[in-house]
A and B are shown apart, each in its own frame.
Chain A
Amino acid sequence: MHAFFQHLIDSVTVGSLYAVMGLSIALVFGIMRLVNFAQGDLVMVGAYGSAVFSHSPWILTLIIVLVVPIAFALIIERVAFRPVRMASDSTLLVTSFAVSYLLESLVLLFLSATPRGVNLAPALGHSFQVAGLFVPWLDVATVSSTFVLLLALSWFLSKTRTGVFMRAAAEDFTTARLMGVRANRIIAVAFAISGLLTGVTAYLTVSKTGQVYPTMGINLLLVAFVATTIGGLGSLSGAVLGGYILGAITIFIRAYFPAQLANFTQAFTYLIVIAILVYRPQGLLTSRTNRTRV
């Protein structure tokens, strides 16, 4: 029983990371009908920001890690996606792959391919004990910052005018524009928020792994993409739910699988994912939005 709760803590922590990353994908998808595969590389870019500024005061490092992905998200939107916004979905998808390779190549060109060690937040490396359970401070930071982000995002989307316009645009972009909602602005806001979410992901990931390398975002992106698909692509609460479900599946399979099958834990994780999608192809929570794009 004791071990079970220890795994539960792990799965909530991992699930939080997936949820935040999943949200950043779902937010852009909701508005643009674009799965931005460069989102993982925004995590990488933010992580490199932390590596370059790792010896600065922690608050400055944190700000850098949050601001760099936001800036890159806005630049990508303006330079890469806006010119092809009216093109077909597959054009947008290919563009996102191109941006992804470009960001990785830039890092290879100006920095290096070898992983760098970064000790971001040494204070978060400690843990405390409660009822016999070990709780790393980093886990507390991960889960609590996720909750703060979720609360802030839902407040923004339901209580602010821009948030309501974003939800309207996600449902029916053309009608929102006919009402006077500025397409460019609403899409830029969506990219900025998703940049912030990837920045948080970057900070927490680097704090956990202590490493940055050019392809570090790819795996995270795939996992988050799977999470949003389980939850129902386009639905924000679905992305969060999918993140936590995927986190739990991953941790518990790793924990309770026979040791001789250890190499196949990932295969079994995705077997369960496939089973969920066979049962509900549209995802667990489906968005009511219709499939219109800008």
Chain B
Amino acid sequence: MIEINNLCVSYRKVPALVDVSISVGQGELIGLIGPNGAGKSTLVKAIAGLVKPTSGKILFDGINLRGKYPEDIARLGVSFVPEGRHIFQSLSVAENLSLGYASGRGYDEASHEAVLDQFPALRRYYNDSAAGLSGGEQQQLALARALLAKPKLLILDEPSLGLAPLVIESLFSTLQKLRTEGVTILLVEQNASRTIAISDRTYILGGGRIRSEGTAEQLLSRKDMIDVYLGKRS
């Protein structure tokens, strides 16, 4: 699905990512965790076309995404839910959802309804301004908007940020459900233990490099690693 090889990104000569290689296979839920400033957001922004890598390859279904515009990457089937959700506040909920069709997938009633069924709040406030939604509802809107594009790869950048614990609970169960439905997901999170638990594999990023990678069992057997890079609280 997506294959990243030896990716390097620098901000004004300060390296943010050094030789990062990760891969996400069809139908996998892959976690990407690490402390603040580790380069998690930089990595997914590079995939989405918001950050220009200095070297390396980003192959998506065999197509190199490097140097492509964000809208062209979206049109190839990568849906990116940015950190902070970025709901269009001046648009209604319905209009926000219509942006899900901007990537060229035609509107289809059945799948539109199916997505709405997963997020009842959106149906309730369908014609209201999106600015009135709570944080959790805005996250649902961002997720629904991304799903309407029928993405081949769904990338979520810190979706649980700023949400109440109960809302985070339902977010993670939604993600698990999406995984069983066959959606390929790359999940960037601060919430390490949760992410490791639901992911097929998780990459640990620290100081711009991949520090470790593995399944839940593999990573949990290396508790020392997690403590070093993420601190004991997680």
Are B71 and A183 neighbours in the complex by a CB distance under 8 Å?
yes
The one of A164, A178, A183 that contacts B98, using a Cβ cutoff of 8 Å = A164
Known: A164-B98, A165-B99. A180 touches B75 (CB 8 A): yes
**CB of B103 within 8 Å of the partner chain:** yes
**CB of A293 within 8 Å of the partner chain:** no
Interface size of A in residues (CB-CB distance below 8 Å) = 20
**CB of A161 within 8 Å of the partner chain:** yes
Are B99 and A176 neighbours in the complex by a CB distance under 8 Å?
yes
| Least distance between B109 CB and chain A CB atoms (Å) | 16
Q: Please report the C-alpha to C-alpha distance between residue A179 and residue B72 in the assembled complex, in whole angstroms.
A: 10
**CB of B118 within 8 Å of the partner chain:** no
**CB of A41 within 8 Å of the partner chain:** no
Are A177 and B69 neighbours in the complex by a CB distance under 8 Å?
yes
Are A179 and B145 neighbours in the complex by a CB distance under 8 Å?
yes
Nearest B residue to A180, CB-CB: B103
Known: A165-B99, A168-B99. A178 touches B90 (CB 8 A): no
Are A161 and B98 neighbours in the complex by a CB distance under 8 Å?
yes
Interface segment, one of B9-17, B20-28, B80-88, B133-141: B80-88
Known: A180-B71, A182-B71, A183-B71. A175 touches B88 (CB 8 A): yes
B91 surroundings in chain A (CB, below 8 A): 164, 167-168, 171
**CB of A145 within 8 Å of the partner chain:** no
The one of A168, A177, A287, A289 that contacts B71, using a Cβ cutoff of 8 Å = A177
Contact code string B88-110 (vs A, CB < 8 Å = 1, else 0): 11110001101111111000000
Q: Please report the C-alpha to C-alpha distance between residue A161 and residue B106 in the assembled complex, in whole angstroms.
A: 12
**CB of B63 within 8 Å of the partner chain:** no
Contact code string B46-79 (vs A, CB < 8 Å = 1, else 0): 0010100000000000000000011100110000
| Least distance between B58 CB and chain A CB atoms (Å) | 16
| Least distance between A189 CB and chain B CB atoms (Å) | 14
B145 surroundings in chain A (CB, below 8 A): 179
Are B103 and A179 neighbours in the complex by a CB distance under 8 Å?
yes
**CB of B149 within 8 Å of the partner chain:** yes
| Least distance between A147 CB and chain B CB atoms (Å) | 24
- Chain A residues 180 to 223 lying within 8 A of chain B, measured CB to CB, are 180-183
The one of A165, A171, A179 that contacts B89, using a Cβ cutoff of 8 Å = A171
**CB of A89 within 8 Å of the partner chain:** no
Contact code string A282-294 (vs B, CB < 8 Å = 1, else 0): 0000011100000
Contact code string B158-180 (vs A, CB < 8 Å = 1, else 0): 00000000000000000000000
Q: Please report the C-alpha to C-alpha distance between residue A179 and residue B89 in the assembled complex, in whole angstroms.
A: 15
Are B70 and A177 neighbours in the complex by a CB distance under 8 Å?
yes
Are A176 and B102 neighbours in the complex by a CB distance under 8 Å?
yes
| Least distance between B73 CB and chain A CB atoms (Å) | 8
A95 surroundings in chain B (CB, below 8 A): none
Are B74 and A178 neighbours in the complex by a CB distance under 8 Å?
yes
Residues of B at the A interface (CB closer than 8 Å) are 48, 50, 69-71, 74-75, 80, 82, 86, 88-91, 95-96, 98-104, 131, 145, 149
9 contacts between A and B (CB under 8 A): A167-B90, A167-B95, A178-B80, A179-B100, A180-B74, A180-B104, A181-B71, A183-B69, A289-B90
Kindly list 10 other residue pairs between chains A and B, CB separation below 8 angstroms, not including A172-B86, A175-B82, A180-B103. A161-B98, A161-B101, A164-B98, A167-B95, A174-B70, A177-B74, A178-B48, A178-B82, A181-B99, A288-B90
